[in-house]
Amino acid sequence: MEWRGHETWYRVVGELGDGAAQTPVVICHGGPGAAHDYCETIADLSRSGRACILYDQLGCGRSALLPDAPADFWTPQLFKDELVELTRQLGIADRYAVVGQSWGGMLAMEHALDRPPGLRAIVVADSPASMALWVSEANRLRRDLPVDVQNALTRHEENGTTDEPEYEAAVEVFYARHVCRVVPRPEFVQRSFDQIAANPTVYNTMNGPSEFHVIGSLKSWDITDRLHEISAPTLLVSGRHDEATPLIVGQIHERITGSRWALFEQSSHMPHVEEPEAFLETVEAFLQTID
């Protein structure tokens, strides 16, 4: 997709067409900057005939990388505009749903706040509405890590050496508990981790060096007080061991009128990977209510 002089890569799984019985789904990956790979199994929603669109947001994966773009180029508005343009160019702007995972769920909520007329529903998977609360909860979980892991994290953050292997190894301990509990990590998930390591511009600029050391432009992002404005039917998804803790997701559930919440007991931040069939069945049942 060409837009504003940039290129965004996408892939349609299934068939888009006029008169399709099932609402097509746009799948928004997380990061920011993690690329679509780890979300590939969400596109299995196509198994019932529903068209699914995977795409790499600008700055990662197979889309234009733009490593020299200034920091203020990478904003939520940029990715909201990209999402709108994608629905327009695919010809689905009059009827579609969004499934967003992590940052993708934040993007889905931002998109829903604009009340686009064709948006039928959103699925917000493993996402916060406040980065301040996200960081607070991540650091609460961090305090349960082994002391030597905590010390390594703190030492490198204070010294500005978060690119050292010891810091990365300590972060992996947290990730194994609260991001993806499947061991070994599936190949399609690892591809996204490798991609963000190779092209960290968007993640480092908007988030920071890790999930709990958020020093990027999103650090003050907070839409909690606007959640009541979301009118699109909403399904919230999270895992019992998720870094998007029940406190985080519960506050969203309380504020979006009529929202549903599925909490997966054996999952952390990726129920679509950790409990894939239960995830698909839950999301399918929800989407059938808006077809």
Catalytic residue ranges: 102, 242, 269
Q: How far is residue 129's CA from residue 223's CA, in Å, rounded to a whole number?
A: 5
The dihedral formed by the CA atoms of 31, 34, 40 and 43, expressed in degrees to the nearest 10:
50
Q: Which amino acid is at 28?
A: C
Q: How far is residue 107's CA from residue 36's CA, in Å, rounded to a whole number?
A: 14
Rg value, the chain, Cα? 18
Q: How far is residue 244's CA from residue 271's CA, in Å, rounded to a whole number?
A: 12
Q: How far is residue 76's CA from residue 85's CA, in Å, rounded to a whole number?
A: 14
CA 121 to chain centre: 16
Whether the CB-CB separation of 269 and 242 falls below 8 Å is answered with: yes
Query: In the beta sheet, which residues pair with residue 148?
Result: none
Whether the CB-CB separation of 57 and 82 falls below 8 Å is answered with: yes
